[in-house]
Amino acid sequence: MPYFYVDRYYWILIIPTMLFALWAQTKVSSTFNKYSQVMSRSGWTAADVCRQILDRNGLYQVRIEHISGNLTDHFDPTSNVVRLSDSVYSSRSVASIGVAAHEVGHAIQYAVGYTPIRIRAAIIPVTNFGSKLSMPLILLGFVFQWQPVVNLGILLFSLMTLFQLITLPVELNASRRALKTLEGDNILYGEEVSQAKRVLTAAALTYVAALLTSAAQLLRMILLFGRRNNRD
């Protein structure tokens, strides 16, 4: 069962992407922590800014909730709620305001019908289904020499890579919307905008890492099972 042991493709493809993902996570944490110490001159909290941007875009129906955790912030389209974490909600820092504005960016994407986020939302059920079945199908097909079943498993796994591919522009667009609003509406001033951008750029690296990791895993599967077919 070639996928389930450490092969050369594991060292060539998986280890580098794992290291990059670890670096990206460290980068976002350190950058957020750094600019969490820089207070915005406006004096507004991240929750205040979140409400302001939502209202200016006519999204009065979107609620804001405080949730526990560190950087667990997200927009929930099913409940129409922007959830801000302990480290963001009541903070007046440039970093927290940037994160809050980014999440509002997702709410605006849904409101204006931004195509990539609509596609991402549509494929989530299929992606979840594929993630659960892909590896069992690959294992089953390999054990019983059923290549079509192996191929189906790889195809289902590829849906996760597709999801990550679509997610990246969605996140980048939300950050662009956030920074444009923060500067254009005079919520952040001068260097504060650049500092918020550094936080959001660091966060974007985690999505790049997720895409590279998923693509590397998919390529490894294809190379391993393709090599097996060639021997057969």
pLDDT digits (tens, 9 = 90+) for 71-103: 999 999 999 999 999 999 999 999 999 999 999
Render pLDDT for 49-60 as a digit per residue (tens, 0 to 9). Answer: 999 999 999 999
What pLDDT was estimated at residue 5?
Answer: 59
Q: Which residues are marked as active site? A: 103
Rounded mean pLDDT of 212-217? 96
Rounded mean pLDDT of 27-44? 97
CA-to-CA distance for 136 and 167, rounded, in angstroms? Answer: 25
The count of structural domains within the chain is 1
Q: How confident is the model at residue 227 (pLDDT cuts 50, 70, 90)?
A: low
CA-to-CA distance for 67 and 84, rounded, in angstroms? Answer: 6
Rounded mean pLDDT of 31-45? 97
- Nearest alpha-carbon partner for 177 in 42, 28, 59, 36: 59
What pLDDT was estimated at residue 141?
Answer: 84
What pLDDT was estimated at residue 6?
Answer: 67
Place of tokens 């450490």: 6
Q: How confident is the model at residue 186 (pLDDT cuts 50, 70, 90)?
A: very high
Residue 179 has pLDDT above 70, yes or no: yes
| In contact, 98 and 81? CB cutoff 8 Å | no
Beta bridge partners of 74: 83
What ranges in the chain are assigned the alpha helix state H?
Answer: 8-9, 15-35, 46-56, 94-112, 115-143, 147-184, 191-231
Residue 4 has pLDDT above 70, yes or no: no
Residue 79 neighbours by CB under 8 Å, 6+ apart: 63
Q: How confident is the model at residue 1 (pLDDT cuts 50, 70, 90)?
A: very low
Residue 231 has pLDDT above 90, yes or no: no
User: Which of 7-16, 64-73, 79-88, 189-198 is least confident?
Assistant: 7-16
Per-chain mean pLDDT for the chain:
93
- Nearest alpha-carbon partner for 217 in 168, 164, 143: 164
What is the residue range of 108's domain? 2-231
What pLDDT was estimated at residue 164?
Answer: 96
Rounded mean pLDDT of 189-206? 97
Q: Could you give the count of Cα atoms lying within 13 Å of 119 in the half-sphere of its Cβ?
A: 13
* 187-194: long-range contacts, CB 8 A cutoff, minimum separation 24: 187/40, 187/42, 187/44, 187/49, 187/52, 187/53, 187/97, 187/101, 188/40, 188/42, 188/94, 188/97, 188/98, 189/41, 189/42, 192/38, 192/40, 192/41, 192/94
